[in-house]
Amino acid sequence: MKNIYKEHYRVICERGMITPTTTSHEFMIKLEEEYEELLNEYADDLHMNKRFPSREFIQEGVDVMMVIANMLTHLGISVEGEIRKNIETQKQRCAVQVK
């Protein structure tokens, strides 16, 4: 299976939205923008009595996730590898709580 994080990063680079000179600060500005859009969609869902989660809310949530994934990829970090490590950490925490 193709690594979807790397694939998404590649597509965004092809669109020119990420370049070799893109800084961490620029990623953080984009993250803030996307998070604000997510909050707005959440508020719209509540105030307009939309079925939650709306398609727009889901799309903005994915945008937030992918900005973070793209930043980590840009920094040379394997997103999939880090998720796997996090899963193991969560399993260990669960085992400690059960004891």
- pLDDT per residue as tens digits for the range 11-56: 999 999 999 999 999 999 999 999 999 999 999 999 998 889 999 9
Would you tell me how many other CB atoms lie within 10 Å of the CB of residue 70?
24
| pTM for this predicted structure | 0.87
Domain ranges of the chain: 4-98
Q: What superfamily in CATH does domain 4-98 come from?
A: MazG-like (1.10.287.1080)
- Residue 41 tokens, joined: 């969609």
- Residue 80 tokens, joined: 């999939």
Helices (H), the chain: 4-14, 24-47, 55-74, 79-98
